[in-house]
Structure formats: C-alpha cells, structure tokens
Structure 1
C-alpha cells in the first residue's frame, strides 16, 4: 500500500501533465484526439488519487481523536536535537552500514545509537528491494534540496518536477503566433503558436561512494553530515555532467550542449582581446534574445579556467573589465563554475565552452525514490587503480536515483565554443 507522501507526489505529477495539456489549449492550439483521451484519463487519475489521500488523512484524524492519554510515569527519553538538512540520510546510511544492510538491526542502531526513533520506525517499516533499501519518500526531498548547491544546473534555477510514473510529457513551445497588416475586405491570415512534445523518461544514476568506517562508528551529528555530503556530492557531480554535456546515448539524459540548436553553437574569436571577449559574450546573449527567450532566470556556466581569465582581464588602463564578477555576476547575470565543462576540447586539446541558459525553461523530471545498498567487501576504481574497501576499512555505499532533463524552449540555451581564454 502506498503511503501518504507517495500519493501526494504522484498527484503532483499528474497535475503537471494536465497543466501542460491545458497550457497548449490556452495558447490557441487544439488538442488532438489522443490528447483529449489522455486529458480525460489524467483527470480521472487525479480524482482517484485525491480520494485515496482524503481517506488516509481522514483515518489519521480519527486515530488522533480516539487516542487515549497514557497514564503513569514514563521513563525519561533523551531530547532529540534538531537535525541539519539531510542529516537523516546520514543516519539511515550509518545505521544500514553498521547492521550489514539488515533493516531491523539498522532500526535498533538508529534508535539506540543515533537517538532517532522516527528513522528507526521508517527502517522497520521501510521497503527492501533486490538492489538495496528504498529510502522512505519522506526523507527523499531532503536529499533533492541538498543537490541544489552541489549541482550548478539546479543552483541556477532549473525547475524540478515530480515524475512518479517514470515518464512525463509536457508541451514545448516551438514557434510563436504572428500578426500582419491587411487592407479592407481582405481575409485575415490565421496563425497559431506551434507546440511540440517534451517527453522525459527516467534515467538511472548510480553513485558509488567509499565511506570510512571510522565515520560509521562515530555517533555524532558531524559524522552524519560527512556521510550525507559524500553521497550528495557524488550524485551532484555526475548529475551536472549529464545535464550539461551528455549526449543522450547509453541511457543518459541529453544535456544542454546537445539540446542547443545548431545556430546557438557560437565559436569564440580566435584572437583573444578585451573587445573580442565582450563581443563573444554578447553573441551568446543575442542568440537568446533573438529566440524570444524571456530571460527570467538567465545564468552562465563556465569552467574554473575561464572564470580566472575573466577575473584577471583588464583594459589598457589596468581596470578590471568585469568587476561585477566579485559579486557573483557576469554582465548582470549570475554565473556558476564547474569542472564538468572541460578545458581540453578541440583539435589542440586546449578549448573550453561557456553556456548561457534561461534556467526558467530547464526542467528536471524526478522519479521518486532513492535506493541505498552497502558492501564491506567490494572494490572500486580510484585513479585508475582497483582499491579494496575491506583492506582500507571502508564501506562502499551505492546510491541509485532516477531522473531526466529537458528544455521547454530550445532557444533558451547558447553555447560559446572553442574558448581558449587562459589566465
């Protein structure tokens, strides 16, 4: 039986799909026969989920109403300190590792060693799978929120949307309506905005994170945070690589680089000077503006090498060309830096890229769920060498999540290529 959080997430996903169909019709485009059937089906599914949610909430209210106070003295319980965001994930992982992956033993550890009775209850009633332990839905949003600072795409404003069924279809605006002047008595030409489908389907991301067993043995909130950060950083780094430069093959998302239109791939001027740098950045801005992009959440993504070059760039009088960089802005737009944009592209192996994106049009479809599995005997690759977790007194934590990425408006990304700017 699905719990309340799962049902709420499913209903949110259905509502998003209904809203996409409604937006298409509101924009003036008629729904196809298949879309009308789909709208009716989604409406019925929304009503069914709402009824299930209402019944569960009613049952919870009734249980609270008839609950009787416990008489007599109760043994003193240690006061549970307020947790940091995502610390619950660290407790879940530490508990599973300490128990060898047994959820019942993990529940005992969470209650007695971590003083987390809520997590103990979740572990006792949680769901196992052939691939590991499924983190209860109530704790998954904490992890997703922590990915925001770990992922530049999320940090700059890409919008996460629940995808509980594993797929999500939205309308993508491909062309606007047009107007024209006419003479008296002439028929008015009819034009409508053009829409196309944006279909997202879940892609499995697996992070393999070695965790020191010393951290597992510590029973402090700091240890919980370190375990949490190792896992989130592993997921966030690979997620950024996918959302920026993966090409959609081998069951990966299609990143910004391969969603950009051909005309939005703009080679930087081979002659590097102040005016050419300004001109190249302006070309990226002009690409979005010419595509009628609203520029609601515009932002730049670049490599660390590019950032240092722009920080050091001065004019003939020794003045910084982009002083606003110190405030986190470039040409009045926020920027983010990531090593997921390489500096070894091109025939000479010395080129990089700069991305300008209106992240209001960037969508991350998130299938609910996070699966955790552990191994104390496994091995992993580090620097090209095979490392034994057992010999290093480490535990391998495998975290599995599923998502996809897409743009609702293709002109919302421009890529400055062949960037050879070096400090």
Structure 2
C-alpha cells in the first residue's frame, strides 16, 4: 500500500504506510468527534445523537448489533478474542461491577464470564441498575428481526451430520429447533418451557446475596362469642417463613464450532433455546420431586400438601374418576377462590379425554365421553372442567403401588402460591476441551444459573397419586 496523506482535525497532514495505521487514525478521529459532540454548549445540554446523528457510541461503534449469548460463550471459552466480542465483554464488565457492589463474587480460580439471564431481575436500587436493565433488554432483542430461515437451512446442511453434539442437522440433536426465531432473553425462553411458570407460578428476582425470605401465616387468630362483661380469650396468630436460597443449576452443551463461526441470529436462537430447554426441564423435575439440599425441594415432598385418594382404588393402582375433579377442588382452602391449573402427563390427559361410558354392553366403551366438555370453537388450550391443563413428561410415570411401577399422579393448585426466585445473571465457566471435542471440531459450553423455588402455602395444592394411565 502506498503512502496516503490525510489532513487531521488539527490541519496537520498524516501519512500512512499500512491499512492498520489508517484504521487506527479513523478510529481516533471518530472518538474525538464523539467527544466534542458530547460537550454541552454554553447554557444547555445537547445529546450526542443530536449533534452527530451519523455517529454511534459504545464498545463496538455499532449499537444496533445487539448482544449475542453465542459470542459471549465463544469469548469465555477462548474461541474468539475480545476484539470480536466487544459488546459482550462490555456487558460482562457492567454486570461484574453492578453485582460486585452488592457482594456477589464470581467463581474463583477459573475464567468466569457473566451474561444476562433476565434483565428484569437485575438489581435496580440505583439509576445505574435501572439504566442497565433497559439497555440489556434492548440489546438482547436487537437481533430478533434478522432471523433468516434460509440461513438456518444452510446451517443445517453445513454442520457435521455425524456429530452427536448439538447441531442443526439431526432432528434429535437440535435440528427441529431451528424452525422458528428462538431469540429474546434466556429467561423468557425458559419460562415458556417450564411447567410451573406455565401454570401461573409467581416469579421474583433473587437478590445478589442469593437469599430471600417470604413471611407467611401458619395459623390464624381465633374468634370467640363472649357475654357482657366477660373477657375475650387471647389468641396468637402463628407466622413462618419461606426461605429461598440460591441453588446452582448447571447446563453443559457441546456445540459444533460451525455455530460459533457463523454467529448469526439463526445459530444464536438455536443455542439460546437449547440452553433454556435444558435448564427448564431440570428445574421442573426438581420443582415437582426434588429432594432439597443442593437442588430445589419439590412440591410433592412438602408435608402440608393436600393428598386426595382417587375414588376407584385398586391393588396395583387407582383409577381417576369424574367425581374426583370436583372433590380435588373442594379440598383447596377457602382463601383460594379458584385453582389456576391442573398438571399431568400428556398420556394421562389423553386417557381422560378418551374415557367413555358403556353404551349397550359392559365394557364396550361406546357411550358418552366422561371428561370431555362441549367446546365452542378452538379447544386449545386444554382444559378440564374449565381449568387449564398443563401437560408435561416431567410428571412421573414410574410411581408404584402393589406390583405396578408405571403409575402417575395429577396435581391441582393455585400456582401463584408457588414462588420462583432467580438471579438476573448467568455465569459461563471456561472448561478444558477433551480430545474428542477437539477431534470433532466442537466446543464445550458450561453455564451456571442460580435459582430456588417453594410454596408460600403448600395447602394451595392437591395431589392425587398412584394413578393408572387409563
């Protein structure tokens, strides 16, 4: 490249002998222009974009590019350098400073990279946190409109067809997930896949210290009829606490490196969706049957949950009857005006919807449907006598009674009394790649999020257990 003469803002000609020198000069002049535009004139304040509408500020000089979880993961794992993920590095520093002020300490002794999980859950006790909330919400959704189905199809063909890692070729390994633009915030995707969230569970932000307590009334005051001049007996309401403490939920995904190289909205959506799906399935299983300790304590393990025995008991499993619907609802406390959802397996719901009375002879199963209601128009979402049904394979089909080990259960409840608390950030931890990953041109992605959940009132839920799927 021959020498190029350019006049700087000070009128001094500059000569460049390489493209790198020219790029450095242009960047320097752009920063100087933005700095001058940001200076307020006498007697007023002028925003940068009003003075220089063609110049954007920020870590990458391209604010509309948005934030990429995929690039953040690639940077954390050393797949790309800081120059290729400036926006993601800038957000990491912002989150580290914000949470560091509240005492949050990332993992020590290994490379830790912070990414936003839920902008609405970031601490906003000061203007800095409020501004960061809105900024991240816009950045995380910036790439939504650039999803390209043709590009997704090309990615599907381009990635290695024999890889067992998450890719875009095999349907069983994620190919079917590329059909739609799965972008947006990770937490929004995860909520849409969680049973408890779909059933109406209440979502709250977990403070940076990872601890949260909800007061609850465990016993009410007592009222008495008393005569004239007679003292009123004293009663003392009993109170308790629902204590939530951050539990660590890890997601480990192997990615074909093509997804990192072609970091587009299509690949971004695929990775976000798969991470959210994996976390949602793991969290749901714990919320239902978790043992507590290092994981969420499941709803079924709380002693105060109301247990309803099915009306048709059997030695090797019970049969759910039409009258059990009203009987389960009648067991909810008076404070619950109406339940918000049923939770059961898809196969159990299908069995109930297909259950029929006998018409002519015993066992002919040709009479009226026992559980179906007349539907006006579209029957979706599925309902059982007016209450929404949330169906999930996370509901066990291996409950036991007698010699049977393929039984299931049905839950009915007022799910706003189930509290889900999450930290607003997620940690990516860099981990060494094994020989197989290097050989297959793959990257191992490990993400950590902090979550806990529990019931404010376990009596707001009714369980009918040991049911035959029929």
Q: TM-score, normalised by structure 1?
A: 0.69
**1:401 matched to 2:449:** yes
Using the TM superposition, give the Cα deviation of residue 415 of structure 1 relative to its aligned residue in structure 2, in angstroms.
Answer: 1.1
**How many angstroms apart in 2 are the aligned matches of 1:171 and 1:72?**
52
**1:364 matched to 2:414:** no
**How many angstroms apart in 1 are the aligned matches of 2:111 and 2:322?**
51
Go from structure 1 to structure 2 and tell me whether the alpha carbon gap of 1:316 and 1:176 turns closer, same or farther (over 3 Å shift).
farther
Write out per-residue CA displacement over residues 33-83 of structure 1, whole angstroms, 9 at most, x where no aligned residue: xxxxxxxxxxxxxxxxxxxxxxxxxxx9x9x946666569759x87947x7
- Do 2:82 and 2:89's aligned partners in 1 also have CA atoms closer than 8 Å? yes
Go from structure 1 to structure 2 and tell me whether the alpha carbon gap of 1:106 and 1:356 turns closer, same or farther (over 3 Å shift).
farther
Structure 2's unaligned 5+ residue stretches are 1-37, 97-105, 122-184, 360-366
State the partner residue of 1:344: 398
**If each structure's helix is expressed as a fraction of its own residues, which one has the higher value?**
1
**How many angstroms apart in 1 are the aligned matches of 2:47 and 2:356?**
71
1:42-191 equivalence runs, <5 A: 65=45, 80=64, 88=67, 91-97=68-74, 99=75, 101-102=77-78, 105-110=80-85, 118-119=87-88, 121-123=90-92, 127=96, 129=107, 130=110, 132-136=112-116, 139=119, 142-164=185-207, 165-191=209-235
Which stretch of the first structure deviates more once superposed, 163-172 or 275-284?
Answer: 275-284
- C-alpha RMSD of matched pairs (Å): 3.6
Secondary structure of 2:113 counterpart: strand
Structure 1's unaligned 5+ residue stretches are 1-59, 112-117, 380-387
- Do 1:156 and 1:299's aligned partners in 2 also have CA atoms closer than 8 Å? yes
Within the candidate set 375, 385, 409, 1:331 is matched to 385
**How many angstroms apart in 2 are the aligned matches of 1:72 and 1:337?**
51
Larger RCO (alpha carbons 8 Å, 6+ apart):
1
Go from structure 1 to structure 2 and tell me whether the alpha carbon gap of 1:322 and 1:279 turns closer, same or farther (over 3 Å shift).
closer
Secondary structure of 2:271 counterpart: helix
State the partner residue of 2:261: 217
Secondary structure of 1:339 counterpart: coil
- Do 1:260 and 1:411's aligned partners in 2 also have CA atoms closer than 8 Å? no
Using the TM superposition, give the Cα deviation of residue 281 of structure 1 relative to its aligned residue in structure 2, in angstroms.
Answer: 2.9
**How many angstroms apart in 2 are the aligned matches of 1:273 and 1:316?**
22
**How many angstroms apart in 1 are the aligned matches of 2:300 and 2:236?**
29
Go from structure 1 to structure 2 and tell me whether the alpha carbon gap of 1:275 and 1:258 turns closer, same or farther (over 3 Å shift).
closer
- Do 1:305 and 1:343's aligned partners in 2 also have CA atoms closer than 8 Å? no
State the partner residue of 2:241: 197
**1:421 matched to 2:421:** no
Write out per-residue CA displacement over residues 99-128 of structure 1, whole angstroms, 9 at most, x where no aligned residue: 46249x5543246xxxxxx54532565647
**How many angstroms apart in 2 are the aligned matches of 1:406 and 1:273?**
29
Go from structure 1 to structure 2 and tell me whether the alpha carbon gap of 1:350 and 1:243 turns closer, same or farther (over 3 Å shift).
same
**How many angstroms apart in 2 are the aligned matches of 1:316 and 1:274?**
20
Go from structure 1 to structure 2 and tell me whether the alpha carbon gap of 1:341 and 1:273 turns closer, same or farther (over 3 Å shift).
closer
